[in-house]
């Protein structure tokens, strides 16, 4: 027998008459649960890939049969209004209860209008722009029939070898937490019931970014203090912003894979944080508990996952194949299953899918909104703001459009595909504007000379054509970097220099003795000491998405003054990794006059470019730093004002950063920690007072008992425009 919406509605009305409760949609969910078989309940806990996009191993080719039988309640990697409408129709019209499907997808930095990769956006330190980017991604994804994005990825990443650094907010907990909030707000908006907001998903819970040696999926072994102080706060920030779902991570924590970790999923997430949404696995991470060595077989793994608190099984079919058996032998209770089903049905209610299962795909909106001028303008704005000026000797940049000839050389100069970066959802290379096309908009054909020079990852040795072309120019722009799939999932690198023969190309060009401007395109920090020493200017442009070409052109020719700051440290070489600004001091901090101090024999301790660093075409001065009250309690706010002045000749934005040092702790503390920042726009000569109000309770850490504490004593307060260029004051907390 097939139930339809009328039956469901009737039971809902009856349920509502019996009495309203506090829990959202409780009556409605109770009514549906009463109608569901165990198999259908397990179906709601099951998520399969549609086969359109492949983002991991495909285990279930026959998902349509499962769908018709009510054995799968959720699909991912299916998108566009028309495609998803047809799948939804099967769920609504051909299954016994007609429960609508939930459609998820990796909408990480845009759906079809592709914004800069997440790491690049983070370099903007501009929360409004980041929120707008996520908002637009949600609007487009919703028009394309999606309800749920597997984003934001809020993993702290301190190892640039790890390919997934491109997907997060970089190395810092505070910045990462602010960005996590902005992205959740952007995706989910203020009302999930609106048909242009989608569920967000904080991933990968937890500590995935701490993979040893930067190798993806590798073992994690960190202290609980580090977990709680460094890796967890961005997840908590996402939760505080109302994130609807969490995704487990592939790694283990304390010997237990996250997907089977009661500590992470129950103690921290549900008990301490009171998370009230649903938890999905990352792909086949239930199945992976077998090779991890904590489950003897898939049934065992399914049991570990459900006991730990995983609600939905992505792609692994472990729940589909074994939960019923586990219930029948009393290893798993019906109420455990129903608890998970409730969370998933609640999300479907919140989205309004029971009112109208088709409200999230709209072919007309798809046509009108996707890649609209407004969205592309926002992508260009975000792209400009994401660029970091790493070097600019003798004011080589900005270039004048009146230059006689410019040579544009390099494998990424006339390339569209790589601009998308990894995780580009349904973005298309043909919608990306290359750097060459961007420059062609501002210079005449006769001013531009172009040659690719070499491939990104080739072994060329003959650069004579590129050299002969470059020799005719007044300045040489060289676009270098990585292919887009050299970062992202399963894309770790052990050497993070420029791949292939690109360095040889630029070395050869440098013999021409002309100004050389390197435009980097990459998904991670690169080790580029030679470039730092020898070229005139370096622009870090990451992968900027559809509007990369025009955005880079805006910066190269001074239409936009670069304002980005690094959200992650750039090492001098791989041997320095892990390297991050908020390290510990050690008992033997480096001292040049004492051999037995912490150092390398062959490289400096300092990175090539520190966290928070980025140059501008103008110069800023921070002066008149004033701390209102320097003796404070944990109930107070640290109130600090300072004047920021634009001393230069062009307008621009500066990111003023506030760091603290807890001078003496019951446990060792980082040398400094970011606790606040402000991004300010100033005209030349203009000055503005900036004001920070930092709650003293945010200066704490987890002590040996794992209690969050702010300890009494002295704190240094550092104000500046990078993690290293600061002025220091101090306060006492008592
Ligand atoms: C595996 C990735 O780790 C995760 O981030 C992603 O959301 C899923 N695959 C789905 O594509």
Mutate-to-test residue for ligand 1 from 49, 56, 211, highest number of ligand atoms within 8 A of CB: 56
**Cα(84) to centroid of ligand 1, in Å?**
20
Convert the pLDDT of each residue in 372-391 to its tens digit. Answer: 999 999 999 999 999 999 99
Parallel, antiparallel, or unpaired for β 537-540 and 516-521?
parallel
Ligand 1 site-directed mutation target among 52, 106, 423, most atoms within 8 Å of CB: 106
Q: Residues with beta carbon inside 6 Å of ligand 1?
A: 55-56, 106, 150, 203, 282-283, 489
Atom number of ligand 1 nearest to Cα 77: 11
Residue nearest to atom 11 of ligand 1 (CA): 55
Six token digits for residue 91 = 């769920």
Tell which phi-psi region holds residue 207, choosing left (phi > 0), alpha (psi between -120 and 50) or beta.
Answer: left
* Gap between the Cα atoms of 350 and 363, Å rounded: 23
Inter-residue contact 477 to 517 (CB < 8 Å): yes
Q: Tell me, what's the pLDDT at 62?
A: 79
Output the pLDDT for position 58. 62
- Tell me if 290 sits within 8 A of 296, measured CB to CB: yes
Strands (E) located in 446-601: 448-451, 475-481, 516-521, 537-540
* Structural contact between residues 407 and 473, judged by C-beta atoms closer than 8 angstroms: yes
> Quick check: helix, strand or coil at residue 28?
helix
List the catalytic residue out of 126, 282, 381, 662. Answer: 282
- DSSP string over 298-330: HHHHHHHHHHHT--BEES--HHHHHHHHHHHTT
What is the distance in A from the centroid of ligand 1 to the CA of 489? 8
- In degrees rounded to 5, what are phi and psi of residue 625? -70, 125
Q: For this structure, is 282 an active site residue?
A: yes
> Could you tell me the distance, in angstroms and rounded to a whole number, from the CA of residue 250 to the centre of ligand 1?
10
Element (H, E) at 639: strand 637-646
User: Which residue's alpha carbon is nearest to atom 4 within ligand 1?
Assistant: 282
- The CATH H-level superfamily of 372-576 is Glycoside hydrolase family 3 C-terminal domain (3.40.50.1700)
Q: Measured between alpha carbons, how far apart are the two ends of the chain, in Å?
A: 70
Q: What residue owns the CA closest to ligand 1's atom 7? A: 150
Q: Give the residue, out of 48, 50, 52, 283, with the most ligand 1 atoms within 8 A of its beta carbon, to mutate for a pocket test.
A: 283
- CATH for 5-364, options being 3.40.50.970, 3.40.50.300, 3.10.20.30, 3.20.20.300: 3.20.20.300
Rounded to 5 degrees, what are φ and ψ at 116?
A: -60, 155
Taking the CA of residue 204 as reference, the ligand 1 atom at the shortest distance is 5
- Candidates 499, 452, 504; CA nearest to 479 is 452
The three-state secondary structure class of 118 is helix
Closest ligand 1 atom, CA of 106?
A: 7
Beta carbons within 10 angstroms of residue 428's beta carbon:
14
pLDDT tens digits, 30-80: 999 999 999 999 999 999 998 777 767 665 667 899 999 999 999 999 999
For a mutational test of ligand 1's pocket, the pick from 164, 201, 489, i.e. the residue with the most ligand atoms closer than 8 A to its C-beta, is 489
Predicted model pTM = 0.96
The alpha carbon of 216 is separated from its chain's Cα centroid by a whole number of angstroms, namely 16
CA of 282 to the centre of ligand 1 (A): 6
Domain boundaries of the chain, sorted by first residue: 5-364, 372-576, 620-733
Its CATH class, for the domain covering 620-733, is: mainly beta
Distance 77 CA to ligand 1 centre (A): 10
Q: How far is the CA of 660 from the centre of ligand 1 (A)?
A: 35
Question: Residue 55 Cα, ligand 1 centroid: separation in angstroms?
Answer: 7
Residue with CA nearest ligand 1 atom 3: 282
Atom of ligand 1 nearest to the CA of 53: 11
Residues of the chain with pLDDT under 70: 1-22, 55, 57-61
CA distance 155 to 103: 24
Q: Where are the alpha helices (DSSP H) in 370-512?
A: 373-386, 435-440, 464-470, 502-510
User: What's the token pair of residue 337?
Assistant: 């299953």
5-364 shares its CATH topology with 372-576: no
pLDDT of residue 3: 39
- In the DSSP assignment, the letter for residue 575 is G
Pick the residue whose CA is nearest to atom 2 on ligand 1: 282
Instruction: Determine the Cα–Cα distance for residues 311 and 338; give it in Å rounded to an integer.
Output: 10
Tell me the CA–centroid distance for residue 54 and ligand 1, in Å.
Answer: 10
Which DSSP string corresponds to 246-297? EEE-SSEETTEEGGG-HIIIIIIIIIIT---SEEE-STTTTTTHHHHTS-SS
Of the candidates 272, 267, 283, 147, the one whose C-alpha atom is nearest the C-alpha of residue 208 is: 283
H helices of 123-232, in order, are 127-143, 173-188, 224-226
Ligand 1 atom nearest to CA at 201: 7
How many other CB atoms sit within 10 Å of the CB of residue 186?
Answer: 26
Question: What distance in angstroms lies between residue 181's CA and the mean position of ligand 1's atoms?
Answer: 20
């Amino acid at each position: 027998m097939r139930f339809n919406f009328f039956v469901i509605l009737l039971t809902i009305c009856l349920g509502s008459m019996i009495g309203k409760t506090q829990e959202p949609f409780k009556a409605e969910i109770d009514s549906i649960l009463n109608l569901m078989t165990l198999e259908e309940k397990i179906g709601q806990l099951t998520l399969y890939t549609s086969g359109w996009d492949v983002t991991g191993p495909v285990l279930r080719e026959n998902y349509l049969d499962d769908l018709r039988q009510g054995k799968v309640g959720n699909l991912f990697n299916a998108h566009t209004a028309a495609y998803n409408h047809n799948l939804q129709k099967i769920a609504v019209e051909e299954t016994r209860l007609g429960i609508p499907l939930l459609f998820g997808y990796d909408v990480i930095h845009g759906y079809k209008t592709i914004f800069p990769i997440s790491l690049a956006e983070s370099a903007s330190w501009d929360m409004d722009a980041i929120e707008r980017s996520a908002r637009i991604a949600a609007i487009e994804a919703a028009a394309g029939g999606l309800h749920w994005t597997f984003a934001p990825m809020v993993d702290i990443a301190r190892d640039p070898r790890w390919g997934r650094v491109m997907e997060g907010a970089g190395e810092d907990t505070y910045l990462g937490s602010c960005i996590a909030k902005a992205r959740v707000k952007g995706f989910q908006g203020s009302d999930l019931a609106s048909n242009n907001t989608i569920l967000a998903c904080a991933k990968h819970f937890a500590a995935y970014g701490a993979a040893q040696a930067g190798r993806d999926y590798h073992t994690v072994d960190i202290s609980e203090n580090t977990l709680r102080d460094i890796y967890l706060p961005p997840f908590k920030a996402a939760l505080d912003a109302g994130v609807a779902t969490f995704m487990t991570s592939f790694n283990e924590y304390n010997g237990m894979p996250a997907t089977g970790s009661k500590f992470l999923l129950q103690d921290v997430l549900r008990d301490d944080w009171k998370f009230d949404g649903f938890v999905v696995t990352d792909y086949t991470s239930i199945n992976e508990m077998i090779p991890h060595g904590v489950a003897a077989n898939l049934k065992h793994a399914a049991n570990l996952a459900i006991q730990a608190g995983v609600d939905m099984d992505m792609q692994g079919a472990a729940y589909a194949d074994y939960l019923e058996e586990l219930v029948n032998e009393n290893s798993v209770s019906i109420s455990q299953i129903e608890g998970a089903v409730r969370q998933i049905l609640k999300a479907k209610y919140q989205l309004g899918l029971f009112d109208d299962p088709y409200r999230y795909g709209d072919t007309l909106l798809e046509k009108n909104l996707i890649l609209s001028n407004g969205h592309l303008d926002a992508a260009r704005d975000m792209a400009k703001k994401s660029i970091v000026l790493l070097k600019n000797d003798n004011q080589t940049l900005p270039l004048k459009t009146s230059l006689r000839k410019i040579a544009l050389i390099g494998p990424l100069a006339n390339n569209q595909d790589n601009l998308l970066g990894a995780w580009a959802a349904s973005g298309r290379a043909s919608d990306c504007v290359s750097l060459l096309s961007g420059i062609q908009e501002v210079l005449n054909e006769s001013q531009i000379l172009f040659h690719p020079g070499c491939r990104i990852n080739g072994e060329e040795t003959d650069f004579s054509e590129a050299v002969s072309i470059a020799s005719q120019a007044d300045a040489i722009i060289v676009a270098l970097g990585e292919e887009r799939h050299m970062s992202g999932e399963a894309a770790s690198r052990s050497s993070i220099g420029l791949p292939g023969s690109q360095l040889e190309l630029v070395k050869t060009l440098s013999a021409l003795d002309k100004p050389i401007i390197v435009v980097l395109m990459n998904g991670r920090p690169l080790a580029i000491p030679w470039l730092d020493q020898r070229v005139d200017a370096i622009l870090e442009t990451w992968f900027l998405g559809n509007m990369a070409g025009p955005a880079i052109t805006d910066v190269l020719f001074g239409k936009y003054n670069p304002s980005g700051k690094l959200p992650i440290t750039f090492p001098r070489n791989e041997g320095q990794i892990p390297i991050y600004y908020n390290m510990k001091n050690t008992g033997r901090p480096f001292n040049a006059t004492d051999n037995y101090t912490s150092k390398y024999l062959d490289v400096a301790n300092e990175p090539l470019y520190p966290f928070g660093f980025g140059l501008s075409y103008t110069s800023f001065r921070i002066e008149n730093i004033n701390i209102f009250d320097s003796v404070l309690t944990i109930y107070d706010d640290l109130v600090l004002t300072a004047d920021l002045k634009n001393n230069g000749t062009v307008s621009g934005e500066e990111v003023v950063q506030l760091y603290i040092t807890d001078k003496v702790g019951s446990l060792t503390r980082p040398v400094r920690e970011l606790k606040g920042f402000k991004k300010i726009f100033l005209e030349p000569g203009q000055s503005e007072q900036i004001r920070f109000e930092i709650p003293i309770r945010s200066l704490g850490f987890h002590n040996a008992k794992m209690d969050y504490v702010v300890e009494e004593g002295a704190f240094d307060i550092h104000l500046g425009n990078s993690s290293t260029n600061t002025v220091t004051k101090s306060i006492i907390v008592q």
